[in-house]
Each structure stands twice: as structure tokens, then as C-alpha cells.
Amino acid sequence: MTGIIDSKERSMPTPSDKNSVAALEKKALIAMDSSPMKADYEPWKTRACEIRTKTGAGLPIVTPESVGVSSLYISDFLKELTGLSCDLHHFLMLRKGKIIAEASFAPYLKGTWHSCHGIAKSITNIAVGILCDEGKLTCETRLTDVFGSKISFLNSLKLKNITIHDLLTMSSGTVFDEEKIFSGNDWAGMFFDAPLHFEPGTRFEYNSLNTYILSAAVTAITKLPMDEFLKTRLFDPLGITSFIWERCPNGITKGGWGLFMYPEDIAKIGMLYLNRGIYSEKRIVSEVWMKRSIACAFSPEGDLPYGYGYHVWTGAKEGDLLFSGIMMQKCFVFSQNEIVIVINAGDRSGLDRRVNDLVNSYFGSVYNPPAFLVENRSSFLSLSSLLSSFEKRNRKIRIKRGGWRTRKPVTKTVLPFDRLCECLNDHSYVLSGSTAGFMPHFLQYIQNNHTSGLKEVSFEKDHRGLVIHLTEGGRTNDLFLSHDRDRYAVMNFKGEIYLVSGIGGFSRDEDDDLCLKVEAAFIEADSKRYLRFFFKDGFERIKIELSETRGTDMSLKEAGLHDITDTVTGYRKDTNEKIGENILWARP
């Protein structure tokens, strides 16, 4: 990562879905601090991704025309896709197992992994399939047969009809409550204790605990966490060498989420499904299992044109598949056309259906590409230019009066960045009663990594811009800024390591106070932090406003709210004046 990531010693520590989206995020934003119990915290994401300098990860890279796809056709598709403003992070397209288009969207870097969320479920299905192929499990195996005495007698009477098939098809009937996943240690026990509200196998209800229980079943049979079991059985044969799959407080792989994986490695999983269990001429899982997996078991209301098979969404055309995670983590598989498309994003506007429709309109049942096309240098260069343009910001960060959301135009000239960095150099501030942290609330919640609040912030000018030193939880992280390009740093939050970008600029607010506005993206996830630093009385006092993009537009609407903001106030470290306390408010 040398040359890309700014660093100071203290910020580079040694590493020691559909139906649930709105409900899950609503609970995360409203109930994150109100739960009567919390799971024991243990960091699992103990390293940032290695930035791959060589693209492809073993997949050949060719021109689109060489495998029968028009470069112009891909360009037209990408222009429509980016026009939806769904906060794209990565895009990758394969045909016949070869990469024909790839891009990352600034500030997100090519060669980095990304949180997969629900895509992980489609990989859990493969683990179950391998065990079924070996006769260690069947689709008709009952939950009570796998876990035996771990299920109480009374619960066994209730759960006796739930099978592996029911878990795979999201039809277990267990009452849906994903909030509890983040508030206790015994996730399997929560599942076993939960009531049933319909007969197992009779209807579809998306519930990530179903997937977690499948992961627990894999561990019960193999005596290994599922990610370790899959290392030799799936990941090594596919050349997937670097990933993180988090585990619960009891050491069970989360199964339905918690996976960080490179886009090209996600594409390899798509290729495995496309080729019915074969990868690089090696059989990984049986064709019988793959055919059973992609057969539609339920047609969930509102999710047309997709049905649901074994932890995979099935299209109208045989072999058209979708692995899907919240905030637009997607892998599309079009088997008859041998096309795989991977999208990572941070969509907060609920554009899943529109993106699904757009992808299917271009590459679904109506698309029938030839085996190859005559090379078109002009179209290919145009596509290459378009892909490259996504990786650069096409302008400096736009500073607008009135905040990130109101978007009122600035009426004064944006202030000189370097000169104001000089003015801020060596200024330190103690923050009063702060409970707000730099990590976005949603990440804190799903990682069970809660902050004690920012305690101190200081500023230092360096040769490329500004460094903001953020102290919380006894540790100081460094956020690096420039006004015209993203800078990158590795940050440590109680042992969890994240790659974070920063860009910023100065302006005046409505009261003519100096304001530093910052955009900080968690590059491996789907969250951004927006910060506004207001300086008053000649830099003697400070107010900090923190907001985030993680699902706010959609989830807050579900909660009947429009905004959630943290405000922190403080004073110069060498003075005794205090001004107010931290506030967390939500405006209806």
C-alpha cells in the first residue's frame, strides 16, 4: 500500500436484503443504544485489505469484442447505471470467464475488497451442498437431528419439523428479529427460543438467522468454523486467497453477512454457479446440488422477476441468478450468455429494483450475443476512457452553504485551503461530554464496536494538506485531507482496522463562521462520514457536526424521521472555557 496510504505510526497498528433492509437499518439507527444487553465484543476485522496491484486475480482480461460483447453496448449500459446515482463503488463484468470491463469509483480504489452482506448467503449454500454430496447432511435433515441436546426438550417439540431445506429457502417460520443478533452472545439459542408464526416450509420470510444456523450446522458436523472448512474445499481451488469472514461471539462464522471479499473473487463464485459446480475443470460441488439450488422454491411478493432457491435469487430465464446484499452488493449470473456482473455500492435510496431491471434489460433474456465480434478500436478506447474516468474525481469537493443536505449554493468564494491549514496548524481542542465517534453508527452497531466518544481533536498541516488527529477510546487515529484529491489512511477502532479516505475544503457558514467540511469514506464498507468543523472566536471554540450516508434516506423514512446528526462542542486545549455538551437528535 506504499505510496497510496498516508501514515503515521499510531494509525498503522499491527493487526493482532431484501425484505430485511428497512427493518434492520431502522432498528440500528433507533435502538443502537437502548438494548438491555449487548454481545461481548471481539474484533474480527483485524486488518485492512491488501491493495492488489495486479488486477484479475488469475482471471484473464480481454477486449469485450473478443468474446462477442460490444464495447459501445457496455458504455451505454454504464452511462445509464451511473445516471441512477446509486453511489457505485466497484463494477466488474465477465464473459466466458474473462474480464471485459472493470472500474472502481472514486474515492474507492481498484484492488480493494468490499463488504458483501447477503452475498455471503450464496457461499454458505455451497458449504451445505458439499456436506450433502458427502452424505453428511441432507435437505430433509431436521434441525433437531443436527443439534441434538443443544436444543431443549420443549424447543425440540416446537422445532421438530424445521429441515435444512426450510433454512435454505428462508421458510423456517421462526419469528424474524435480527436486532437481537447484535445484542447477545448466544445467537443459536435465540433462534431455538424464538416462536414460530407459520408452519415451516409453507411460505417465504427472509431471515439472516436461518443462514447463521446453517453455518452452525456446518461447524457441528465438521468441527470447524465454516470459513475454515471452505478454505480447502472452495476458496483454495478457486484461487481466493485473501478475505475476512467474521464470527459471532461463540466463534461460529456469521454465514449470512460479515464477509469482506474482492469483486473478482465474488465473480469466481458466480462462475462456479454458472458452470454448475465446476471451476477450472475441477468439480467443487455436484451438479445435482447446483440444479436443486437454483430451482425456484418461492416467488416472494414484490421481488419479481426473481424467485428464491437455496440462498440465491432465481430469474425468469433458467440459469439467470442473483446473489444480493443490502446497499446494493450484487452478483448477476446469466448462465446461457456466460456473463457474470459484480456490483458493490453504498446505495441509500432504495434503487435495488431499478438496478435489477436495468441489468436485466441489457443482459437478460432478450440479449443474445455472438461468440465474438470484429474488434472496434474506437469503441474500445471510448469504453476504456469511460472506465478510467470513474476512478478520478471530476472536480474538487463541492462546498455549499447550508450543509451537505440542503445544498444551497455558496455565495462567497471558497476559501484558500493551504492558508487556512496554516492557521489551524497545532490547534488542539478538548471535546465536552462527547458520545459521538468517528465510525458511522451503522458500522458500530453491526460490528458491536461501540465508541465511548471523541475526546480530543487536533490539526496539523503537512506537505500535502491537513491531518486531523481524532482521539477516542484511548487511541488517536489520523485522517488525512487534501482539497482536490482523496488521501488514504488505515484507522484502528478498538482493534478493527479500516481503510479510510479523506477530502475537504473551507467555506463560511450562515453566521460567517469558518467551516471545514470533510467527506470520509470507509473504503471496504458501504459507509461514509460527513463532518463539519465550525471554528468560533478566532479558533478558540469548535463545534463538530457528524452525519453519515449509511442507509439514512431509506431507513429514517421508515422510522418517520428525516435526519440524524451528532453535534460535539469543545474548547482550545490551552483554555479553560467549556461550551455546551454533545447532543444526539433526530428531527421529524
Residues 327 and 421 in one domain: no
Residues 174 and 298 in one domain: yes
Residues 195 and 101 in one domain: yes
Residue 475: inside a domain: yes
Listed residues 333, 355, 387: the one ending a domain = 387
Residues 367 and 220 in one domain: yes
Residue 8: inside a domain: no
pLDDT above 90 for 447: no
pLDDT above 50 for 111: yes
* Cα–Cα nearest to 248, from 221, 220, 209, 222: 209
Region 77-93: mean pLDDT is 96
CATH no. for residue 431?
2.40.128.20
User: What is the model's pLDDT at position 316?
Assistant: 84
Measured torsion, CA atoms of residues 211, 214, 220, 224, in degrees rounded to the nearest 10 = -60
User: What is the model's pLDDT at position 1?
Assistant: 52
- Written as nine digits, the cell of 276 is 454448475
User: What is the model's pLDDT at position 309?
Assistant: 97
pLDDT above 90 for 10: no
CATH no. for residue 80?
3.40.710.10
User: What is the model's pLDDT at position 446?
Assistant: 82
Mean pLDDT of the chain, nearest integer: 86
Which range has the worst mean pLDDT, 121-135, 226-240, 436-450, 491-505?
A: 436-450
Residues 416 and 340 in one domain: no
pLDDT category, 349, cuts 50, 70, 90?
A: confident
- The residue written with cell numbers 424445521 in the block is 162
pLDDT category, 407, cuts 50, 70, 90?
A: very low
Q: Mean pLDDT highest for which of 9-13, 173-177, 335-339?
A: 335-339
pLDDT above 70 for 409: no
Residue 122: inside a domain: yes
Residues 311 and 180 in one domain: yes
Residues 381 and 413 in one domain: no
Region 2-16: mean pLDDT is 51
Residue 41: inside a domain: no
Residues 422 and 383 in one domain: no
Residues 369 and 410 in one domain: no
> For residue 153, what are the domain limits?
57-387
Q: CB-based contacts of 438: which residues, under 8 Å, 6+ apart?
A: 451, 454, 470, 472, 477, 479, 491, 493, 520, 529, 546
Instruction: Give strand pairing partners of 93.
Output: 101, 341
Residue 11: inside a domain: no
pLDDT above 90 for 365: no
Q: How far is CA 564 from CA 201, 347, 446, 457, 583, in A?
A: 40, 17, 18, 22, 11
pLDDT category, 182, cuts 50, 70, 90?
A: low
User: What is the model's pLDDT at position 574?
Assistant: 63
pLDDT tens for each residue of 221-279: 999 999 999 999 999 999 999 999 999 999 999 999 999 999 999 999 999 999 999 99
User: What is the model's pLDDT at position 193?
Assistant: 93
Region 420-438: mean pLDDT is 91
Residues 430 and 361 in one domain: no
Which range has the worst mean pLDDT, 161-165, 436-440, 458-462, 546-550?
A: 546-550
Domain count for the chain = 2
pLDDT category, 512, cuts 50, 70, 90?
A: confident
Residue 47: inside a domain: no
pLDDT category, 195, cuts 50, 70, 90?
A: very high
Residue 509: inside a domain: yes
Listed residues 353, 387, 421: the one ending a domain = 387
Rounded CA separation 240/64 (Å): 24
Could you say which DSSP state residue 162 is in? -
Residue 190: inside a domain: yes
Residues 277 and 145 in one domain: yes
- The residue written with cell numbers 437502548 in the block is 34
Answer for the pair 335, 349: CB distance below 8 angstroms, yes or no.
no
Percent of the chain with pLDDT over 90: 69
Listed residues 331, 353, 387: the one ending a domain = 387
Pick the more confident residue, 415 or 399: 415
Residues 380 and 411 in one domain: no
